Amino acid sequence: MLDYHVHLWPHGERAVGPTLEHLAAYCERASASGVGEVAVTEHLFRFVQADAALAGWWEDDPDPHLRASAARYWTDHAHADLDVYVDTVERAKEAGLPVLLGLEVDHYRDRMDVVARVLQGYPFDVLLGSVHWLGAWLFDYLEDPTSAQEWGRRGVEAIWDAYANAVEELASCGLCDVLAHPDLIKVSGRRPAVPDEFHARLVEATARAGMAAEANSAGWRKPAAEAYPASDLLARFHAAGVPVTTASDAHELATVAHRACELRQLVADAGYETLTAFRGRVPRQVVI
């Protein structure tokens, strides 16, 4: 098994320099759960290099409350140094730890060319693409009153449509290898009565871009109360020939490799016999 989506710092905690000991503890925890390889995939927005290139993107949103919320969140998080992060993970690889250098690349509307320039020249093994913001609305920040209230102001169908639009733009930019938590938009537990249209759009965008989809256990820890993606959506990915990775989306040691055995069963039930591993952003298949 693989855990191809782990973070080094919880949200709301000031990022400090990663250490080899930090990464070694993650690998030990993963190994104890039958996971043989870990991709360290911190959010791009945690780094000062992203801040220098992208800060202020939220000003496009017409809602001043959402703009202010996004600005606060960004300012709270953008403190780590991407060069130090990369160097530490590369040293861990040289020391023999079963880790990959990755990043979670969030979607910023009409700015993915800027994101590509920030990432240029770094020796990443895998890049996850994700959608967390719809405009300046951080829709999965359910603990924040401004973000949580927005769920009551928009129709569920409109929210899912906006999410699908963002995934389609993210996929079309060709920057990422894996679509992280493909149906993250269900995080609050709100779903369309018939999500088929939106599921079809997510699958089509991922397949057209040649990306893998991620089976992610974090949904079991959220009001959605199921893995990302839902089993029927995962079966659609398989039917479309979209390969798959597995991930915990851990933000702390305790959730590294979270429910790995259940993820194994989830992907097997969808028809998968292999997972997609990466090195230098080149995919290969490994037996589940």
Tens of pLDDT along the chain (288 residues) come to 999 999 998 887 777 778 999 999 999 999 999 999 999 999 999 999 999 999 999 999 999 999 999 999 999 999 999 999 999 999 999 999 999 999 999 999 999 999 999 999 999 999 999 999 999 999 999 999 999 999 999 999 999 999 999 999 999 999 999 999 999 999 999 999 999 999 999 999 999 999 999 999 999 999 999 999 999 999 999 999 999 999 999 999 999 999 999 999 999 999 999 999 999 999 999 998
pTM for this entry: 0.96
| Residue 229 contacts residue 183 (beta carbons within 8 Å) | yes
Q: Which CATH number fits domain 2-287: 1.10.3720.10, 3.20.20.140, 3.50.50.60, 2.40.10.220?
A: 3.20.20.140
Alpha carbons 202 and 179: distance in angstroms, whole number: 9
Alpha carbons 73 and 48: distance in angstroms, whole number: 14
Q: Is the dihedral of CA 96, 262, 166, 43 positive or negative?
A: negative
Q: Is the dihedral of CA 113, 117, 120, 124 positive or negative?
A: negative
Backbone torsion region of residue 277, taken as left when φ is above 0, otherwise alpha when ψ lies between -120 and 50, otherwise beta: beta
Surface-to-core class of residue 44, CB atoms within 10 Å of its CB (0-12 exposed, 13-18 middle, 19+ buried): buried
* Residue ranges of domains in the chain: 2-287
Encoded tokens for 122: 């770094």
* DSSP state string for 227-273: PBSPHHHHHHHHHTT--EEEE--BSSGGGTTTTHHHHHHHHHHTT--
